A and B are shown apart, each in its own frame.
Chain A
């Protein structure tokens, strides 16, 4: 814990601000039902009211409070982002360790598969799959994971390949260490920081992808996410000719924007730290 705090204190100013922003959204997501007086899925006032004291971010065309929707949307976005990133890093990491450790045919097939996944244009494929699986949060997470596991798998594989021939690994192997023992004792600690960087990058990618899919109308219609709010807003006929967009479109848009930027800045911060400390240890040794 001390180490983590130490680490955060070493962040640059932008990194610290980004971290605070993420913290804010996480608080919003956890306490969403306490923070807003109104329900996110039921009308609670007149339709299309500008921000006022009562509805301090206004209401949409059904009279649903925007602030309540935003709070709930934070929950959806963060859940999708974290779950997707966790699943892909865990799954991709395992695949990467297997490929790097066993080598040979498994490795060849895995590399070919990741090559294939990299060539496919992702968003069109996600649209097709999203339509095929039907709109629900679980399916969105599944589809996003399907396209995200390759990056951590590749990173972990190359790291495992580079440490596989080290003496201590060979010694451990000759003492009869099993695959899972090796993962736990040697591979996981050494690849952990790389996986962490990958994890953060995937969070922001997943949030963007979820917003994009929901914006196209392929999101879960029962759970109001930020992308879905944009979708509803854009579907409203008079949206261009009235002032409604100033709260209906702008607030969710700004939310996605700040969240994505904050996550990617934290990612860059960790990455930079990682690269510099990596350089130090190699020059020292």
Chain B
């Protein structure tokens, strides 16, 4: 028992070290960027025509603590971080945490829905394909899903956008919700949000299903060759019972871990897809922040994304141990 606790502690420690490394990296990168927020804000860029005097710049620099030594800034940064304070956005003049919180809802619902549907479809098709191995259906599914999983999500998103929205005009062109409209009921609003979210979701699902399909198929083929599966067939059990109760139960643990591990790459895909549809999530926010050289905002987004991914990695590890008692 003591041994297990110790082992778990070591695992947690390695994750914490990873996170600290990322915080440090995260702190230094924006500070080494060429240009600074004041020269950029002073320049003519779109509607922003603000000019700062030297005194103003000094005042703001001391307000944001930018004139202190790097070491001091670093200590302040970590201090604030552990109080849940990611600072104020320079460009949006709002607390970074609130901005990200507002935008994160969009991204997370997109990503979670995409993971849910793609893993569901992938598992079903994968077991079907494994069961009907080497038939025409299997070959067709295999080829199609491999092709789809090789295509980057944002290209599919672009194709969907231009075909379904611009050409057929079935879906809205951009955004996450219709602006300047008063919704009479909750149902109407939900429909509007779903209507906007369908294409981004579809793009992510199409590209992600392949990985889950392949994993389930391989795992299932391995399981179907086991002796107990032959016994189950010999007992005359029903097909569905064999496939889902005996087969899938043993084939699923690697798929479940992959679901949690895939968060990092699906977030990357979502960032690009959001930019295709101008979806109001964190991905679009990140691009805006980079172009405005908004240090705290870039840092905040990147940090929260990384934190999410690390937590998911940890959950994946625990779940795998729980689901597969052979792994000790």
Contacts and interface: CB of A to CB of B under 8 A. Distances in A.
Interface of A: 112, 115-116, 119-125, 127-129, 131-132, 134, 204, 208, 211-212, 215-218, 230, 234, 239-241, 245, 249-250, 253, 256-257, 260-261, 264, 268
Interface stretch (B57-65, B120-128, B149-157): B149-157
B275 A216 contact: yes
A240 B173 CA distance: 8
Given A116-B18, A119-B310, A216-B287, A124 B33 contact: no
A123 B158 contact: no
Contacts of B268: 121-124
Contact of A253 (B18, B158, B269, B301): B158
A260 B165 contact: no
B81 interface: no
B108 interface: no
A121 B309 contact: yes
Interface of B: 14, 18, 21-22, 29-30, 32-34, 146-147, 150-152, 154-155, 158-159, 162, 165-166, 173, 264-265, 267-269, 271-272, 275-276, 286-287, 290-291, 293, 298, 301-302, 305-306, 309-310, 313
- Counting chain B CB atoms within 10 Å of each CB, the highest count among A124, A128, A260 belongs to A124
B275 A122 contact: no
Contacts of B269: 123
Say whether chain B's binding surface is mostly helix, strand, loop, or mixed.
helix
Contacts of B313: 119
Contacts of B158: 230, 234, 249, 253
A119 B18 contact: yes
Contacts of B291: 217
B47 to A, nearest CB: 16
Contacts of B154: 212, 215
Given A120-B306, A253-B158, A264 B150 contact: yes
Contacts of B287: 127, 216-217
Contacts, number: 105
- Counting chain B CB atoms within 10 Å of each CB, the highest count among A127, A250, A268 belongs to A127
Given A127-B286, A239-B166, 13 more contacts: A119-B18, A119-B313, A121-B264, A121-B268, A123-B268, A124-B286, A124-B301, A128-B29, A129-B29, A215-B272, A216-B275, A260-B152, A264-B150
A116 B313 CA distance: 12
Nearest to B276: A234
Nearest to A14: B143
B211 to A, nearest CB: 13
B323 to A, nearest CB: 22
A210 to B, nearest CB: 11
Contact of B298 (A128, A217, A230): A128
A116 B26 CA distance: 14
B213 to A, nearest CB: 15
Contacts of A253: 155, 158-159
- Counting chain A CB atoms within 10 Å of each CB, the highest count among B29, B269, B310 belongs to B29
A260 B21 CA distance: 33
Contacts of A230: 158
Contact of B152 (A129, A208, A216, A249): A208
Contacts of B267: 121, 123-124
Given A119-B310, A127-B286, A127-B287, A245 B166 contact: yes
Contacts of B293: 131
- Report, nearest first, the 3 A-B pairs whose CB atoms are least far apart: A123-B268, A121-B264, A131-B290
Nearest to A245: B162
Contacts of A128: 29-30, 290, 298, 302
Contacts of A249: 158, 162
Contact of A132 (B22, B32, B265, B276): B32
A124 B271 CA distance: 8
18 contacts: A116-B18, A119-B264, A120-B309, A121-B305, A123-B269, A124-B268, A124-B286, A124-B306, A129-B29, A131-B33, A215-B154, A216-B272, A216-B287, A234-B158, A240-B173, A257-B155, A261-B150, A268-B146
Nearest to B299: A128
A146 to B, nearest CB: 12
A216 to B, nearest CB: 6
Contact of A115 (B18, B146, B151, B264): B18
Nearest to A123: B268
Contacts of A257: 151, 155
B166 A240 contact: yes
A192 B32 CA distance: 38
Nearest to A256: B155
Contacts of B159: 253
